[in-house]
Amino acid sequence: MHDHSLTIRLLTPRHLLALVAGIGLCLGLSLRDPVLLALGTTALASLLVSLWQAARLLKSLRVRRRHPSRSFEGERVHVTLEVENDGSIPGALLEIEDHFPPGDVWRVHHLIERPIRRRETVILAYEGECSRRRGLYTLGPVRFVARDDLGLFRRELAIEEMSLLLVYPTAVDLRMVEVLGDGTLAHVGIETLPRAGTSAEFVGLRPWRPGDNPATIHWRSTARTGHFVVKEFHDETVTEVTCFLDLGRIGLTGLGDQTSLEYAIKSTASLARRAIARAHAVQLYAVGTETEHTPLGKGQRHLLMLLDHLALLKPRGEVAFLDEVRRYVPHLTPGGTVILVVSASTVDPQALLPTIAAMRWRRLLPIVVLIDDRAFIKLYEEQEMRHIEAMGLEDLARTFILQGARVHIVTRARSQRQALLQGLEQEVVAHG
């Protein structure tokens, strides 16, 4: 069997043509036979022309890749390759391989069977699924394999056509979650608390009261009645939502895409998406060895900024998460909502309770999202002891609820989307 396969590899058209060229030239020269010389010369010329054609074609190829710069985990990205033949040699049977690292199948092959004429651009398209987790990926290089018209020679060339694709964490569409506090920002929002104020929505006229803005006086009615009459408007308010995300190393359990950190980041992304969809203003404090702050903002553009930030976050050593929360809470505007996304076995309830009480005193609505890190593979020895000593999930949730916080528990499931929906849309209720 081995000898048979070796024979097949040796008896290729290229080898046979080289053999004919060698025999023809050698015998033609020794026997002075013009027919053999012509045969040998023709065979040799065919080899050289085929070799030159394959090499020349690769030198004349140009490629450009086009695709969206951002995508979500699990989405399919449409990618196009524009291949141009900048030379005078038409190329046939051209193989093209692109590299798409965000997907499980990250080598994408194409075959151009017809010749590419001079100055012609061929557009190839494919869809790559972002099946790997969030992050910044580099697409490329593009590898070409060219053959001459006779199929005798095969040449390869890698073109450094690189492009970046930022893959966002999954942000599920939450329908049953409200983040509305007492409201802090006037004149914006869809989910509002209507009260008399000075927004653009006119309510009616009323008699002037001390402290009213002179600019609201309705002069026609004032002249008609002889008393000052002012215009009244609805004052629309929107909640400021502040997310604190714990990036501590000890709270990270699991491997690959199935980690407690990925669940925490996806929970934060989903809640931010929900808050912005309801026209609230959102800011993020990602607490690692250093606290990274995404400032307060609203709208889809701000959501993209938050997702840009969340896509690149990594666990950061030892973290004093509660110290950072205590540091920033006094500066938050009363009437807003504070979301704490923490690992269930690393949070210290007794240390957090005074901070929750301080939030309530400042009219801040505290929401605690507990990531059940016990359901993931442990990475460090100290995690085992923490998991043993930590308070149970139900007792931990009850402790925070009794202090006035809303609590959600997100635990591992086969479908991350279902885990997020179930955990974030179902508020924990304290029993007993």
- Per residue in 28-56, pLDDT (tens digit) is 677 777 777 777 777 666 666 666 666 66
> Tens digits of per-residue pLDDT, 70-96?
999 999 999 999 988 876 655 556 788
Considering the domain architecture, whether residues 229 and 242 belong to the same structural domain is answered as no
Considering the domain architecture, whether residues 287 and 332 belong to the same structural domain is answered as yes
Q: Given a cut of 80, is residue 115 above it in pLDDT? A: no
Considering the domain architecture, whether residues 231 and 313 belong to the same structural domain is answered as no
The answer to whether the CB of 316 falls within 8 A of the CB of 346 is no
Beta-carbon contacts of residue 427 (< 8 Å; ≥ 6 apart): 406, 407, 408
**Number of domains, the chain:** 3
Residue 43 placed within a domain? no
DSSP states of 278-332: TT-EEEEEEESSSEEEEEEE-SHHHHHHHHHHHHT----SS--HHHHHHHHGGGS
Considering the domain architecture, whether residues 387 and 253 belong to the same structural domain is answered as yes
H/E element, 383: helix 381-389
Report CA 41 to chain centroid distance, whole Å. Answer: 60
Residues 58-68 have a mean pLDDT of 86
Give the whole-angstrom CA distance, residue 240 versus residue 238: 7
**Residue 399: predicted pLDDT:** 92
Considering the domain architecture, whether residues 283 and 227 belong to the same structural domain is answered as no
Beta-carbon contacts of residue 230 (< 8 Å; ≥ 6 apart): 205, 206, 207, 208, 209, 212, 213, 216, 217, 218
**Residue 192: predicted pLDDT:** 41
**Residue 216: predicted pLDDT:** 79
Q: Given a cut of 80, is residue 67 above it in pLDDT? A: yes
Considering the domain architecture, whether residues 106 and 70 belong to the same structural domain is answered as yes
Considering the domain architecture, whether residues 225 and 284 belong to the same structural domain is answered as no
Q: How confident is the model at residue 237 (pLDDT cuts 50, 70, 90)?
A: low
Residue 127 placed within a domain? yes
- Residue-range definition of the domain harbouring residue 364: 238-425
Domain end: 180, 215, 235, which one?
Answer: 235
**Residue 348: predicted pLDDT:** 86
According to DSSP, the residues that pair with 129 across neighbouring strands are: 76
Considering the domain architecture, whether residues 325 and 363 belong to the same structural domain is answered as yes
Query: In this structure, what are the phi and psi dihedrals at residue 384, rounded to the nearest 5 degrees?
Result: -60, -45
Residue 37 placed within a domain? no
Give the whole-angstrom CA distance, residue 426 versus residue 40: 83
Considering the domain architecture, whether residues 413 and 318 belong to the same structural domain is answered as yes
Q: Given a cut of 70, is residue 13 above it in pLDDT? A: no
To the nearest 10 degrees (0 to 180), the angle between helices 321-328 and 349-361 is: 10
Considering the domain architecture, whether residues 371 and 416 belong to the same structural domain is answered as yes
Residue 193 is which amino acid? Answer: L
Considering the domain architecture, whether residues 317 and 338 belong to the same structural domain is answered as yes
Residue 9 placed within a domain? no
Domain end: 168, 203, 223, which one?
Answer: 168
Considering the domain architecture, whether residues 127 and 201 belong to the same structural domain is answered as no
Residue 387, helix vs strand vs coil: helix
Highest mean pLDDT among 99-113, 173-187, 219-233: 99-113
What letter would DSSP give residue 404?
A: T
Higher pLDDT pick, 430 / 201:
430
Residue 48 placed within a domain? no
In order of 300, 338, 361, the CA distances from 244 in angstroms are 20, 8, 19
Residue 110 placed within a domain? yes
DSSP states of 185-225: EES--SS---EEEEEEEEEEEEE--TT--GGGB-HHHHHHH
- Nearest CA to 402 out of 373, 370, 368, 363 is that of 368
- Nearest CA to 342 out of 241, 246, 243 is that of 246
The pTM (predicted TM-score) of the whole model is 0.75
Residue 124 placed within a domain? yes
Rounded to the nearest integer, the mean pLDDT of the chain is 81
Q: Which two tokens stand for residue 24?
A: 């023809």
What is the CATH classification number for the domain harbouring 99? 2.60.40.10
What is the CATH classification number for the domain harbouring 270? 3.40.50.410
To the nearest 10 degrees (0 to 180), the angle between helices 416-425 and 260-277 is: 60
Residue 297 placed within a domain? yes
> Tens digits of per-residue pLDDT, 184-195?
765 443 344 444
- Nearest CA to 277 out of 295, 294, 299 is that of 299
Domain end: 204, 235, 266, which one?
Answer: 235
Give the whole-angstrom CA distance, residue 75 versus residue 59: 35
The answer to whether the CB of 147 falls within 8 A of the CB of 53 is no
